């Protein structure tokens, strides 16, 4: 925003990585809830989960 105000031109931002991350996360959570994840995968997921 600052660059656009200062120069009058904007910049291109590739936001496709957000979509990809959302799809991969949905896949992982789907596998976890369906029980299709290995014990090692479940342990790694628990280790990275934020406390509620």
For 1-52, how does the pLDDT look when each residue is reduced to its tens digit (9 = 90+)? 677 788 888 777 777 877 888 888 898 888 888 877 777 777 776 766 666 5
| Helix residue ranges per DSSP H, the chain | 2-7, 16-34, 39-48
Tokens of 39: 């014990």
Tokens of 11: 């910049």
User: What local confidence, expressed as pLDDT, does residue 17 receive?
Assistant: 78
Q: Evaluate whether 45 touches 37 at the Cβ level (below 8 Å).
A: yes
Q: Evaluate whether 3 touches 11 at the Cβ level (below 8 Å).
A: yes
Q: Evaluate whether 28 touches 21 at the Cβ level (below 8 Å).
A: no
User: What local confidence, expressed as pLDDT, does residue 1 receive?
Assistant: 67
């Amino acid at each position: 925003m600052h660059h656009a105000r200062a120069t009058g031109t904007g910049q291109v931002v590739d936001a496709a990585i957000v979509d990809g991350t959302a799809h991969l996360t949905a896949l992982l959570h789907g596998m976890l809830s369906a029980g299709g994840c290995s014990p090692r995968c479940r342990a790694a997921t628990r280790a990275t989960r934020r406390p509620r």
